[in-house]
Amino acid sequence: MLEINNLHKSFGSKEVLKGINLKVNKGDIIGIIGPSGCGKSTLLRCINLLELPSEGNIIFDGNDIIHEKDKLAVRKNIGMVFQQFNLFNHLTVIDNIVLAPVMNKLMIKKEAEEKAIQLLKDINLEDVINNYPNQISGGQKQRVAIVRALMMNPKIMLFDEPTSALDPEMIGEVTNLMKKLVKDGMTMLIVSHELNFIKNFCNRVIFMDDGIIVEEGSSKEIFNNPKDERLKSFLDKINNK
Ligand SMILES: Nc1ncnc2c1ncn2[C@@H]1O[C@H](COP(=O)(O)OP(=O)(O)O)[C@@H](O)[C@H]1O
Ligand SMILES: [Mg+2]
């Protein structure tokens, strides 16, 4: 469903992605790990067209999306969730969720609100519908951010460190929602430093270092039988923290 070929991205003279190749099949749950600064966020941002790649292509459902003028059409299919939630603090939960579909004329307000309320009810968040972001917990904020992404019925969800900004006791409510999405058949790419979560949750894991994919394999292969020295030392460092 998604195919990334020879993807490069430079910021000025600094090359951050140095030729990424990756095939994502429907239903894949792919974990992306690697040291800070290796290009994980940049890769997700390129897939969501928040960054324009310097070279290569990204084929989504048969179309090269890099030069697609209608970025909105692409983002409808590829939802993204950020570490810092990126909710508007001056808007209530429901207004945050309906903003994009209504502003972009994809839904009328009433229809969007009905859908948002149903999605919030499904995850027991109906009580905070009219709260502002500063009136809800971090775990609730991140679940609202996920609901916002789900409004467009995306085919893939990209998660960039979705639990890194959360207090430990709130991580579970976000990962439980992610588990529910998997059950419903969602395809996911997840960047996370929570290696245990990645190990148990993902069917494939990618280790990146310095702008390239160094090693790729099943969860078992990557965590129990790492081959590349860079992956071994990365796992050692994290395990000995
Ligand atoms: N908009 C930008 N302008 C310049 N450099 C950037 C920009 N975004 C990221 N970088 C640089 O690209 C490198 C990779 O960043 P990033 O993709 O955020 O890494 P990771 O998510 O793996 O920690 C870093 O050196 C970072 O400073
Ligand atoms: Mg990052």
Identify which of 44, 45, 37, 47 has the alpha carbon closest to the alpha carbon of residue 15.
37
C-beta 115 within 6 A of ligand 1: no
State the residue for tokens 């395990």: 239
Give the orientation angle of helix 109-122 with respect to helix 93-103, to 10 degrees. 140
Q: What letter represents residue 123's amino acid?
A: I
Q: What letter represents residue 155's amino acid?
A: K
C-beta 13 within 6 A of ligand 1: no
Helix/strand/coil for 103: helix
Ligand index nearest the alpha carbon of residue 11: 1
> In this predicted structure, which of 10-14, 42-46, 120-124 has the lowest mean pLDDT?
120-124
How do residues 40-83 score in pLDDT, each as one tens digit? 999 999 999 999 999 999 999 989 999 888 888 888 899 999 99
C-beta 11 within 6 A of ligand 1: yes
User: Among the atoms of ligand 1, which is closest to the Cα of residue 11?
Assistant: 4
State the residue for tokens 């951050």: 16
Q: Which residue from 18, 40, 42 has its CB within 8 A of the most atoms of ligand 1, so it is best to mutate?
A: 42
| 132, containing H or E segment | none
User: Is residue 207 packed enough to be buried (19+ CB in 10 Å), middle (13-18) or exposed (0-12)?
Assistant: buried
How do residues 148-200 score in pLDDT, each as one tens digit? 999 999 999 999 999 999 999 899 999 999 999 999 999 999 999 999 999 99
> Is 241's pLDDT higher than 70?
no
Q: What pLDDT, on the 0 to 100 scale, is given for residue 239?
A: 78
Neighbours of 26 (CB within 10 A): 11
Identify which of 178, 141, 173, 140 has the alpha carbon closest to the alpha carbon of residue 159.
178
User: Ligand 2 center to residue 48 CA distance, Å?
Assistant: 14
